[in-house]
Amino acid sequence: MTLKLKPLHPLFAAEAGGVDLRKPLDEQVVREIDAAMDRHAVLVFRGQPLEQAEQVALARYFGPLDAGLRKATGAPTRFNYDELIDIGNVALDGSVAERENTKLIGVLANQLWHADSTFQDVPVKYSMLSAVVVTEEGGETQWADLRAAWDALPEKTKRHVEGRTGRHSAFHSRIGLGDDKYTDEQLKRFAPVERPLVHVHPGSGRKVLYPSVHIDRVSGLTVPEGRLLVAELLEHATQPEFVYTHTWRAGDYVMWDNRSTLHRGRRYDLTARRDLRRTTTLERDAVRAVA
């Protein structure tokens, strides 16, 4: 098998083919996918419907798996694997979740620009989303290229942000949406972590601007100043020229690099069934360092 790539955007994102993701991958294909991710940051595989076990097995080729915010909330899952993260609007009993269902907070929070799990001590690498059921309208996912965003940032702003850190809080964006019923124990499980506002991507060697809706304060600035700076950087990084928009089809499988992109879901009719499953990998070197 040989990976075939077709660019989807002038700056990043590519449609990937030539590989059957339901079959075991050899080391060469895994290396090709890693190299393509370093270049394109988002890879779209069409027509690759996966069973739950297949999706988990596939994700493991790219690193240890992470269960995300469920580690703090302890929320029940409808999946057979804790490593599968629910991005749909399906309730535990298989029905479409009612608007009062607390799981929809996560659906709505995903409509804010973010990278996955930046609020954890151990950084994540890739996220991979498998589309099982999609809506006829809405529900697109958008990605922003943070490498290109850094390149286009005015020099004065580069000097202002480089060397600063943002404090990433797991619950900051959710509390802003009115989801504030967390226990002290839950809040302590994901204490805020500091991450640079600018970092160098280990695979491409490119500098990356790294704002996020998870950031509640910025080093060296007052809370209001920091939040306004983050809003300014998000506005810059998510301009149309830096954004790829994906319209989902059932059977799509999309990988993205959380170290070089932001993403968000788009609004859709919450009464229409939507079923997507996500896996997310941790950085192997970071896991070994912690261990």
* Region class of 205: left (phi > 0), else alpha (psi between -120 and 50), else beta: left
Q: Which helix (H) or strand (E) holds 45?
A: strand 42-45
Q: Which domains does the chain have, with CATH numbers?
A: 4-290 (3.60.130.10)
Q: Round to whole Å and give the CA distance between 273 and 87.
A: 12
* 210-250 confidence digits (pLDDT tens): 999 999 999 999 999 999 999 999 999 999 999 999 999 99
The two structure tokens encoding residue 216: 């509640």
pLDDT at position 75:
74
pLDDT at position 289:
37
* Residue-by-residue pLDDT tens, the chain, 291 positions: 689 999 999 999 999 999 999 999 999 999 999 999 999 999 999 999 999 999 999 999 999 998 766 555 567 889 999 899 999 999 999 999 998 887 788 788 899 999 998 888 888 999 999 999 999 999 999 999 999 999 999 999 999 999 999 999 887 877 777 766 767 777 777 788 999 999 999 999 999 999 999 999 999 999 999 999 999 999 999 999 999 999 999 999 999 999 999 999 999 999 999 999 999 999 866 533 333
Is residue 59 within 8 Å of 281, Cβ to Cβ? Answer: yes
CA dihedral 37, 42, 47, 50 (to 10 degrees): 70
Is residue 85 within 8 Å of 68, Cβ to Cβ? Answer: yes
pLDDT at position 166:
97
